Structure 1
Amino acid sequence: MTERKPSGESFESFIDRQIREAEERGDFDDLPGAGKPIPGIDRPHDEDWWIKQKLRRENVSFLPPTLALRKEAEDARAAAAAARTEDEVRRIIGAVNEKIRAAILDPPAGPPLNLMPFEVERVLADWRAKRD
């Protein structure tokens, strides 16, 4: 692909020739995803698709810190409900409570937090009730 277009040749025929030669060499054989539908082809066009995909792939949050903490608290509550032992419930809730307390003492940027630390005993009571 480092060769230059000859001066008398049109771009279309130059590119078509390069594609044909690459096919003949087998450069397009066994490409990942060959024969599979293109992901997201049926969705409406989004010009920022590549940015969103990169953020998801890198596991980067694009939420303000307060909203990210609210989401983390919801996830912790769900993880505690699915925990196998009381110690695991205490560990999960304790970890998120530390973050909530720190955010209350030094509010991060974004909308108001509107979140209080979980009452560990109440979460444990809910956990026990689901086990019985």
Structure 2
Amino acid sequence: MAYESAVEKAIREAVERGEFDDLPGKGRPLAGLSDTSEDWWVRRYVRREGVPSDALLPVGLQLRKELERLPETVRDLSSERAVREVVAELNGRVVDYVRTPRGPVLPLRRADPEDVVARWRAAGSGGPDLR
């Protein structure tokens, strides 16, 4: 006879008494165990904590997405100065990445502040220029 811990003994006795016979979900797989990939726990944690999926991307891809979304980011800003500050901050992070890339190396270009401001004005965004 093999060693039986106190917990195993308690479970065996409960099964023998039929205490697990009418549990809801009996005979069905446990919920959430269908994901068999190696990083199932990361996906579950990200979903549970509400972390945006972009946060898991390499820095180069994050910056590329930010550059693509720049017109939407500045659309509701109220002044040209604010638009230029957002572009300057993003361009600073692009320069930092180009100097010392982390993760896969992606070709990135800084956003042209004049072009972003011109598009912002053309879209009729914001109020008067408050430089």
Is residue 67 from structure 1 mapped to residue 72 from structure 2 by the alignment? no
Mapped contact 1:77–1:93 kept (Cα < 8 A): no
What letter matches 2:59 in structure 1? P
Question: What are the ranges of 5 or more consecutive residues in structure 1 without an aligned counterpart?
Answer: 21-40
Bigger relative contact order, structure 1 or 2 (CA pairs below 8 A, ≥6 apart): 2
SS at match of 2:121: helix
Is residue 87 from structure 1 mapped to residue 94 from structure 2 by the alignment? no
Mapping 1:33-48, distance limit 5 Å: 46-47=35-36
Relative distance call for 1:110 and 1:93 in structure 2 (3 A) is: same
| Runs of 4 or more above 4 Å deviation | 6-9
Relative distance call for 1:67 and 1:7 in structure 2 (3 A) is: closer
How many percent of aligned residue pairs carry the same amino acid?
24
What letter matches 1:78 in structure 2? E
Mapped contact 2:58–2:103 kept (Cα < 8 A): yes
SS at match of 1:15: coil
Deviation, structure 1 residue 104: 1.6
Deviation, structure 1 residue 100: 0.6
Deviation, structure 1 residue 8: 4.6
CA distance in 2, matches of 1:51, 1:11: 38
How many pairs are equivalent? Answer: 105
Is residue 123 from structure 1 mapped to residue 123 from structure 2 by the alignment? no
Q: 2:102 aligns to what?
A: 108
CA distance in 1, matches of 2:100, 2:89: 17
Give me the CA root mean square deviation: 3.3
CA distance in 2, matches of 1:68, 1:11: 57
For normalisation by structure 1, the TM-score amounts to 0.60
Which of 51, 57, 66 is residue 42 of structure 2 equivalent to?
Answer: 51
For normalisation by structure 2, the TM-score amounts to 0.60
What letter matches 2:100 in structure 1? D
CA distance in 1, matches of 2:122, 2:12: 80
Deviation, structure 1 residue 9: 4.2
CA distance in 1, matches of 2:13, 2:45: 42
Q: 1:28 aligns to what?
A: none
Deviation, structure 1 residue 91: 1.6
